[in-house]
A = this chain, B = another copy of it.
Amino acid sequence: MAKELKELTSRSDNYSQWYNDLVIKADLAENSAVRGCMVIKPYGYAIWEKIQAELDRMFKETGHVNAYFPMFIPKSFLSKEAEHVDGFAKECAVVTHHRLKNSPDGKGLIVDPDAKLEEELIVRPTSETIIWSTYKGWIQSYRDLPILCNQWANVVRWEMRTRLFLRTTEFLWQEGHTAHATEAEALEETKKMLEVYADFAERFMAVPVIKGVKTANERFAGALDTFCIEALMQDGKALQAGTSHFLGQNFAKAFDVTFMDKNNKLDHVWASSWGVSTRLIGALIMTHSDDNGLVLPPSLAPFQVVIVPIYKNEEQLALISEKVAEIVTKLKALGISVKFDNNDNKKPGWKFAEYELKGVPVRLAMGARDLENGTVEIARRDTLTKETVSLENIEIHINELLKEIQKNIFQKAFDHRASVTREVNSYDDFKVEIEKGGFLLCHWDGTPATEELIKEETKATIRCIPLEGDKTPGVCMVTGKPSVQRVVFARAY
């Protein structure tokens, strides 16, 4: 791609601009001709494919299967669950007609008024309604349960302000929709998937997360409880990285899905739903990257190692290529993905900057002197350090290094989060501290009114009521009323 390697805006200058610059310059995504919709470019999509592959494996290991449900939802379906309609039947893409025809004036196409749909269709903002209308036909008895389906799909929410990956009108995601015979089972499933998400975020994305429950204000429209994982970005703002909803019997009631239980008693089915989206790529970028570009966790990097030859003539290149081929074979045998960039149009310096920008975890450079000495130069993207090492057992060294990088960037993110997470006990302090960003652990009286007041006055929201950690009761920092435990406040994406 023709593209100048201009400097990124630095994070300290303008974090938001840095993010936008980086997404574009690292060839991850770009805005499209359609307002709010993005084009996910091959390098960005390759990260999504890695995310998909790992999550899909984890879903299947926990007993789930994939399926596919229609992208269109009849308008009337959205009204069936009372709370769901308020949450999702607002800004959405509405299909009203099914035909275009040539304009009588010969100037292009017009919507054919004769092709108006009897009932408008909504492009799914989430699929609970169409899926539960389908499950009604699948479930008669407890023997048909549980149903543990996931789908990988595109969804549309007509957002007013969009940002690449973080908030786009169309985005890609997975949505799990499960049906159970008992409340306990559905709740267990909801929590199990929260654990899967947390495990994925921490082990693969190297993003530390807080597991918690949303307050009523922040709950998914139609859920009895929304569990979430919350991550902290480098600018001190929070990002919700995944949610798992306990839906109770709400959707079963809305779509009249009942089953005969073991005692021959008819009951409504219990449900969960859970999802993560291409937003995770935004989280990945904002957690690890620096002023030189992306820093990708080895577990999700499209390629983990890049090898750049440094040569004066064809003969040298041939010798280096021969040696590189050996290294590549050894790395691949260990399951390490590697790219040998012998492109003759670009200079090594250009390549170094390019792969730094693209966040390739490990870069090898091999020149004439390395050939002589049986060595190679290894550069780490996370620390930007270099060392020259012997080619002997190089694959083992690199394998260890990749593990170390994965661990190191997690630790760095963990330490950063720790450094900006603190307990705050008075609302006056809160107003000062929230300006500095980070997670604030505070007592809250549990009422939507107090939460709303804090949000209005400080733009901070309760990210979650954490499941783990300190559970000591206290008094609300605003009202002085009793609080059962501290909750996590932050400003959020």
A93 and B72: CB pair below 8 A? yes
Q: Are B69 and A42 in contact (CB under 8 A)?
A: no
Q: Is the CB of B67 within 8 A of A41?
A: yes
Tell me if A75 and B134 are in contact (CB < 8 A): no
Can you name the residue of chain B whose Cβ is closest to the Cβ of A72? B34
Binds B, one of A136-144, A180-188, A323-331, A411-419: A136-144
Among A33-53, those with CB < 8 Å from B are 33-34, 37-42, 45-46, 48-49
B94–A100 CB distance below 8 A: yes
| Residue from B73, B95, B100 in contact with A75 in the complex, judged by beta carbons closer than 8 Å | B100
Given A34-B70, A38-B70, A41-B67, decide whether A94 and B90 contact each other with a Cβ distance below 8 A.
no
Residues of B within 8 A of A93 (CB): 72, 95, 98, 121
Decide yes or no: A66 and B45 within 8 Å by CB, A78-B100, A158-B99 being known contacts: yes
A333 within 8 A of B: no
Instruction: Give min CB distance, A1 to chain B, whole Å.
Output: 6
> Considering only CB atoms, which chain B residue lies closest to A168 in the complex?
B70
Residue of B65, B69, B170 near A32 (CB, 8 A) is B69
Interface positions, chain A 122-150, Cβ under 8 Å from B, are 122-123, 130, 133-134, 137-141, 143-144, 149
Bound: A93/B30 CA distance, A? 25
A88 to chain B, nearest CB (A): 9
Residue A446 is within 8 A (CB to CB) of chain B in the complex: no
User: How far apart are A134's CB and chain B's nearest CB, in angstroms?
Assistant: 5
Q: Could you say which of B32, B42, B65 contacts A46, with CB atoms under 8 Å apart?
A: B65
A170 adjacent to B98 (CB under 8 Å): no
What 0/1 readout, one digit per residue, does chain A (198-239) give for beta carbons within 8 Å of chain B? 000000000000000000000000000000000000000000
Minimal Cβ-Cβ distance residue in B for A129: B33
Size class of the A contact interface (CB-based, 8 Å)? 35 or more
Q: When chains A and B are docked, how far (Å) is the Cα of A97 from the Cα of B116? A: 13
A109 interface hit (Cβ, 8 Å): yes
A2 in the interface, Cβ–Cβ < 8 Å? yes
B98 touches A97 (CB 8 A): no
User: Across the interface, do A45 and B68 meet the contact criterion of CB distance under 8 Å?
Assistant: yes
**C-alpha spacing A37/B46, complex, angstroms:** 29
Is A450 among interface residues, defined by CB-CB distance under 8 A? no
- The answer to whether B89 and A37 touch across the interface, beta carbons within 8 angstroms, is no
Cross-chain contact A158 with B39 (CB below 8 angstroms): no
Q: What residues on B are CB-neighbors of A81 within 8 Å?
A: none
- A15 in the interface, Cβ–Cβ < 8 Å? no
Contact residues in B for A353 (Cβ distance below 8 Å) = none
A71 at the interface (CB under 8 A from B): yes
Residues of B within 8 Å of A40, CB to CB, are 67-68
With a cutoff of 8 Å between Cβ atoms, the chain B residues found around residue A158 in the complex are 98-99
Q: How far is the CA of A91 from the CA of B100 in the complex (A)?
A: 7
In the complex with contacts A137-B30, A154-B154, A109-B79 CB distance below 8 A: yes
A120 close to chain B: CB less than 8 A: yes
Contact (Cβ within 8 A) A49 B70: no
For window 6-65 of chain A, which residues contact chain B by CB distance below 8 Å? 30, 32-34, 37-42, 45-46, 48-49, 65
Question: In the bound complex, what is the Cα–Cα distance between A94 and B112 (angstroms)?
Answer: 10
* A96 on interface, CB distance cutoff 8 Å: yes
Verify if A454 is at the interface (C-beta below 8 Å from B).
no
B71 pairs with A96, CB closer than 8 A: no
Do A78 and B109 contact each other (CB < 8 Å), given the known contacts A34-B70, A94-B96, A123-B123?
yes
Please tell me which one of the listed residues B71, B108, B154 contacts residue A76 in the complex, with CB atoms under 8 A apart.
B108
- The residues of B that contact A170 with a CB separation of less than 8 Å are 70-72
- Contacting residues, chain B, for A394 (C-beta < 8 A): none
- If the complex has contacts A70-B170, A170-B71, are A34 and B2 also in contact, measured as CB distance less than 8 A? no
The reply on A453 being an interface residue by CB < 8 A is: no
A-B contact pairs, 30 of them (CB 8 A): A2-B139, A2-B141, A33-B77, A34-B70, A34-B72, A34-B130, A37-B70, A37-B72, A39-B70, A41-B67, A42-B66, A45-B66, A45-B67, A71-B123, A72-B170, A75-B100, A76-B109, A78-B100, A90-B101, A91-B99, A92-B99, A92-B100, A93-B95, A94-B100, A94-B111, A95-B95, A95-B96, A98-B158, A99-B158, A153-B154
